[in-house]
Structure 1
Amino acid sequence: MTKPILKLDDVVVNVNQNTPEQITILNHLNLTVNEGDFITVLGSNGAGKSTLFNSIGGNLKIDGGSITVRDKDITHFSEERRTHFLSRVFQDPKLGTAPRMTVAENLLLAKKRGEKRHLKPRGLKPNMAEFKTLTETMRNGLEHRLNTPTGSLSGGQRQALSFLMATLKRPDILLLDEHTAALDPKTSQQLMEATNDRIKEEKLTCLMITHHLEDALKYGNRLIVLQDGQISFDVSGAEKASLTQEQLLTFFADIEQ
């Protein structure tokens, strides 16, 4: 039986609080994420998708409710403290990597995340074979750019590197924040397929925001729709597999297809 890994109970997030312009972005939102879930997250602009991720990631304080991971209350944990069990990939390929460091150096940095720092050789060479095998899984030539500064990579390669760095130490929770949105359609599809393969192979628990209905239907075991700061639709398994784009469009009209 799968166990809940992440729970949001009655989470409230307001902007312009205690002013006449106060707006509630998350309105007593409840969500239970089970271990191994791959959830695609849909919602029109302003529905609260990014606010949901920012609340889970800790870079936005919630105004009400609680957030727990493995039954531990993390509501007041800092963003830095949450990186011990949570990783996130953003829409912008420039985020998540150090541009002047090589691909291999970035991967080594990710591999040593959370470890105590010591004055000792960085140990890059012994890891090169592992990094070559790892980058080959992206199927975009990244394995031939291990000694290339990250700032010289294409957008697709840099985003693939960000994804590998986020998953290298197998986080408890992976947040993909429209991580293919800035890429051309071919590169986006390539990264999505590699993403799906790695999530399945590593049995990762993942939430992925997307504006593409096709990707939301094709990937993951579960789909949720955010509407007016709450989850208006939550479907999984065979019910999700039988969904059509036309059925999803009945929930909202302005999501890009």
Structure 2
Amino acid sequence: MTEPILELKNVSTVVNKGTASETTILKDLSLTINPGDFITIVGTNGAGKSTLFNVIGGNLIADAGQVLHNGHDITHQGEVARTSFLSRVFQDPKLGTAPRMTVAENLLLATRRGQRRRLRFRGLKPRMAEFAQLAASMNNGLENRLNTATGALSGGQRQALSFLMATLKRPDILLLDEHTAALDPHTSATLMQATNARITEDHLTALMITHHMEDAIKYGNRLLVLKAGQIKADLTGKQKAALTPEKLAAYFE
């Protein structure tokens, strides 16, 4: 039997501790993630989706329970330490890239993710052909803008670059935090197709928060419904295949 790549065991999180507005967000939540899982996550505002990602990413330490990576307890490990095996793409295209650096320079930076930084020659020129091929996989003309400052890109191109940077070193865990939400429908669809292709081809393990019911149903092998800090449904196989947006929406009622 394959060992889970990530496990959350009876995780709870509390905000505004000791005040009248103290609230438990995640409530004794347990989740097993296996290598190669592509899990889409839906839920209403306040269901705990972002909190779940923050606990997995190390931005937030769980108040109770455990987080395990390949069987090792990382519950109290911080965000920086987890970058050696985890990447995250945020909703805002401006996050995750250096605006004054070119597309190629950003990609070069991503090749050194999780490594110690030291003074050395950049070695950019020998990798330009590789970066052009990589950028072309996004199907949005990014390969023609390798020498363009990232801040001058369109939102869709910048988000595509963020995605490439997050997946360049094939992380154990990829968190997609509504990464298409700020894009127009056509650009969003193009990025989702490229996202699915890369996750599938590189056998990545990914979790994706989305408010698009159609995307949650269409992509991935598992679909989680979060409600009030708990997993109300974990749908796979025929259950997931039989879903419609209307049937999925019924879980929120």
Alignment TM class, shorter chain as reference? over 0.9
Counterpart for residue 203 of structure 2: 203
Is residue 110 from structure 1 mapped to residue 124 from structure 2 by the alignment? no
Q: How far apart, in 1, do the equivalents of 2:247 and 2:58 lie?
A: 34
Q: How far apart, in 2, do the equivalents of 1:114 and 1:67 lie?
A: 20
Give the SS at the match of 1:46: coil
What are the residue-to-residue correspondences of 1:45-84 with 2, within 5 Å? 45-84=45-84
Counterpart for residue 164 of structure 2: 164
User: How much does 1:118 deviate?
Assistant: 3.5
Q: How far apart, in 2, do the equivalents of 1:2 and 1:62 lie?
A: 26
Q: How far apart, in 2, do the equivalents of 1:249 and 1:33 lie?
A: 24
Give the SS at the match of 2:26: strand
User: How much does 1:144 deviate?
Assistant: 0.2
User: How much does 1:113 deviate?
Assistant: 1.5
Is residue 148 from structure 1 mapped to residue 148 from structure 2 by the alignment? yes
Q: How far apart, in 1, do the equivalents of 2:12 and 2:213 lie?
A: 27
Q: How far apart, in 1, do the equivalents of 2:194 and 2:2 lie?
A: 25
Kindly provide the CA deviation profile for residues 181-231 of structure 1, in whole angstroms up to 9, marking residues without a partner as x: 000000000000000000000000000000010000000000000011000
Q: How far apart, in 2, do the equivalents of 1:238 and 1:128 lie?
A: 44
Q: How far apart, in 2, do the equivalents of 1:216 and 1:56 lie?
A: 20
Q: How far apart, in 1, do the equivalents of 2:112 and 2:81 lie?
A: 16
Counterpart for residue 214 of structure 1: 214
What are the residue-to-residue correspondences of 1:1-257 with 2, within 5 Å? 1-252=1-252
Q: How far apart, in 1, do the equivalents of 2:231 and 2:118 lie?
A: 46
Q: How far apart, in 2, do the equivalents of 1:239 and 1:38 lie?
A: 16
Q: How far apart, in 2, do the equivalents of 1:118 and 1:210 lie?
A: 38
Q: How far apart, in 1, do the equivalents of 2:95 and 2:230 lie?
A: 28
Q: How far apart, in 1, do the equivalents of 2:114 and 2:83 lie?
A: 8
Q: How far apart, in 1, do the equivalents of 2:20 and 2:65 lie?
A: 23
User: How much does 1:62 deviate?
Assistant: 1.2
Give the SS at the match of 2:25: strand
Q: How far apart, in 2, do the equivalents of 1:221 and 1:114 lie?
A: 29
Kindly provide the CA deviation profile for residues 116-135 of structure 1, in whole angstroms up to 9, marking residues without a partner as x: 33332100001001000000
Give the SS at the match of 1:26: coil
Kindly provide the CA deviation profile for residues 69-119 of structure 1, in whole angstroms up to 9, marking residues without a partner as x: 100000010100000000000000000000000000000000011233333
The percent of aligned pairs where both chains have the same amino acid is 68
Conserved? CA contact 2:68–2:75, under 8 Å: yes
User: How much is the aligned-residue C-alpha RMSD, in angstroms?
Assistant: 0.9
Give the SS at the match of 2:207: strand
Which amino acid counterpart does residue 181 of structure 1 have in structure 2?
A
Q: How many residues align?
A: 253
Give the SS at the match of 1:27: coil
User: How much does 1:157 deviate?
Assistant: 0.1
Unpaired runs of 5+ residues, structure 2, are none
User: How much does 1:20 deviate?
Assistant: 2.1
TM-score, normalisation: structure 2: 0.98
